[in-house]
Structure 1
Amino acid sequence: MTTAILAAREVRVEFEARRGGGRARAVDGVNLDVAEGEIVALVGESGCGKTTLARTLLGLERPTAGQVLHRGTPLAYTSRALKAYRRAVQLVLQDPSGSLNPRHTVYDAVAEGLRVHGDVTDERDRVADALSRAGLRPPERFFLRFPHELSGGQRQRVVIAGALILDPQVIVADEPVASLDASVRGEILALLLRLRDELGLAALVVTHDLGLAWNIADRVAVMYLGRIVETGPVEKILTAPEHPYTQALLSVLPEAPGEPVVLRGEPPDPTRVPGGCRFHVRCQVLASGAADEAGVGERCRGEDLAILGGGEDSDVACHYALAQRD
């Protein structure tokens, strides 16, 4: 595999806890690669650390430890370096209504990136081209409209156009269709796939929805309590998941066979990550006695697992799943 266009290497991000003292381990050792022209889905429950990891990859958070790499070069945190980096790696937020200034026209919203970077050459043509690539045609018809005059899908296309105008290499999309009607979601997902095919654009799509991952991703990374616990090609992860957490997430999809897996309790407090496998206090395999029968129950409760590699190979952080492989 060639050098990843965007990568996390042993990334950790900690925050001071608001209550009770201690430090919350929001991201607790993550390797993740995004290759050129690849769409990677980062999947997990709310609070698992996926948005913090995305913000760190964007340079909006500085890691407590580890590195973010752009084309193999560690990210520098000077103002000049970050400004250049953010041309190459652009963010698309989940709520277009919240990310668009209601007082700015569509033209101004899309042109904002060019103006921030002092790059206003051929501004009108570039705004029109970005809107057109985002599926708003003819683009001139949208120039003087305001966000409240657009549908939710049109607003999300304006946000995507604002990212495209800087010709990025990677888009980081945080729940890009979560706020849209079901009828519009497919259109936005199809747009992201078309941009990948036409422009070679890579994307990291942050989502809690494994169904979305199935429709758009080449590869999936499943995150739990600050760490990636399973990763691999989308077909493998979604048809033959090995980690009990991935199996539980998949079990609630409408087309999933069998009964949904109901996990016990809430994810643990990130200031008090449990010893052993971090999922063991909620694990249905351990609770059923299957892990003890396989001779790995005590390891599940007391032995931490290695941090997974971030590349294209399938990998899982689960004592029971690894024992089943042997």
Structure 2
Amino acid sequence: MTTPAPLLSARDLHVTFPGRHGAAPARAVDGVELDIGAGEIVALVGESGCGKTTLARSLLGLVEPSSGSVRFDGKPLEYSSRALKAYRRRVQLVLQDPSGSLNPRHTVYEAVAEGLRIHGHPGDERAAVAEALSRAGLRPPERFFLRYPHELSGGQRQRVVIAGALVLQPELIVADEPVASLDASVRGEILALLLRLRTELGLSALVVTHDLGLAWNVADRVAVMYLGRIVETGTVEQVLTAPRHPYTQALLSVLPEAPGAPVVLTGEPPDPSRIPSGCRFHARCQILAGGEAERAGVADACRTRDLDILAGTDETQVACHWAHARVTT
């Protein structure tokens, strides 16, 4: 049996920003391969500054890559205004702060209908807005038409943002920290909504988050990003129950239910304009610092030898000399 082609794929993607005041360019995305299948939810996980939002913006066509390619439904993404407008009808963005996403002077109806008006929706606008609000869990939808954002709770505002994405009937949504600004009691409702939309509509999603607990609850697959690259990827069960990369292990160790003492990483993620030689995590790696990499005979490789870019497929992969050494011994 042949594996169906991914709905969205990135191949050897690089996004570089010019350095300030003569500094070296910042390699925000530094060689990424990522696939998202139809009806699949993929979580992109990492600390702030690791490049995950830049990667998401590049997949949306908001940032043109310096090199590499993005393909959607088997076709390369084009960057003309007309092509991007058609693309964004099929791929929609949901931002983390619903208060910042919604114009305080626009009613809920106007906020949800905006996409229809931009794209020239030929059908019944009122019916389309009502259906989107209903699917987002705001029922009866007519009760929300004339409300303004300040009259809604945080969870209701996020549902309006989701309805504004759903109204165009996209095939994929990119949700950037979709519950980060919400109370804990509301987060579960929004995550359950994303899962329900996948079941009811066959919707695919890329969920960008720093929260591995969120990834566990909502994703089929997880891709862990560090300093512009995916360093570990696989099914959510494989990666989060048996993490192989020391960075993934450190991220998981601080969850409340994690066994043992949390791993405290020293320092901040390195500057993307000064990516270190060897494994890009080695300066903060608890395995290297604790002598385990030395005992495995890979300490020099950790400091000097770069690792291959991980493939975008759904197999479990890790970019770590120590993890590879453990498999071969």
TM range (shorter): over 0.9
Partner of 2:57: 55
| Structure 2 letter corresponding to 1:147 | P
1:18 to 7, 17, 20: 20
| TM-score, normalised via structure 2 length | 0.98
Match of 1:244 among 240, 243, 246: 246
How big is each residue's C-alpha offset from its partner over 1:194-226, in whole Å with a ceiling of 9 and x where there is no partner? 000000000000000000000000000000000
Number of residue equivalences: 326
- Compare 96-105 and 11-20 and name the one that shifted more: 11-20
From 308, 311, 319, the counterpart of 1:309: 311
RMSD over aligned CA atoms reads 0.7
- The residue that corresponds to 1:162 in the other structure is 164
Which TM-score applies when normalising by structure 1? 0.99
1:167-182 correspondence runs (5 A): 167-182=169-184
Instruction: Find out whether 1:292 has 2:310 as its counterpart.
Output: no
CA drift of 1:18 comes to: 2.7
Aligned to 1:29: 31
Moved over 2 A (4+): 17-20
Letter in 1 for 2:18: E
User: Structure 1, residues 1-53: CA drift from partner, whole Å, max 9, x if none?
Assistant: 21110111100000012355110000000000000000000000000000000
- Out of 165, 183, 203, the position equivalent to 1:201 is 203
Q: Which runs of 5+ in 1 are unaligned?
A: none
CA distance in 1, matches of 2:269, 2:216: 24
Match of residue 90 from structure 2: 88
Match among 98, 112, 116 for residue 114 of structure 2: 112
Alignment correspondent of 1:147: 149
Distance in 2, matches of 1:107 and 1:72, equals 35
> 1:187 Cα shift?
0.2
Q: Unaligned 5+ residue runs, structure 2?
A: none
Which of 263, 266, 289 is the aligned partner of 1:264?
266
Task: Choose which of 137, 140, 143 in structure 1 pairs with 2:139.
Answer: 137
Once residues 73 and 316 of structure 1 are traced to their aligned partners in structure 2, the CA distance between those partners, rounded to angstroms, is 28
What is the letter of the counterpart of residue 25 of structure 1? Answer: R
> Which AA in structure 2 matches 1:152?
G
The sequence identity of aligned pairs, in percent, is 75
Post-superposition shift, 1:71? 1.3
Q: Which residue identity lines up with residue 20 of structure 2 in the other structure? A: R
Q: After superposition, where does 1:201-240 map in structure 2 within 5 Å?
A: 201-240=203-242
Note the alpha carbon deviations across 1:259-316, whole angstroms, 9 max, x for none: 0001111111110100000000100000111111111111100000000011110000
String of CA shifts for 1:102-148, please: whole Å, max 9, x gaps.
00000000000000011152000000000000000000000000000
Q: Deviations along 1:223-256, whole A, 9 cap, x unmatched?
A: 0000000000000111000000000000000000
Once the two structures are superposed, what CA deviation does each residue of 1:164-197 show, in whole Å capped at 9, x if it has no partner?
0000000000000000000000000000000000
Matched residues in 2 for 1:3 and 1:282: separation?
37
Report the secondary structure of 1:281's partner residue.
helix
Partner of 2:256: 254
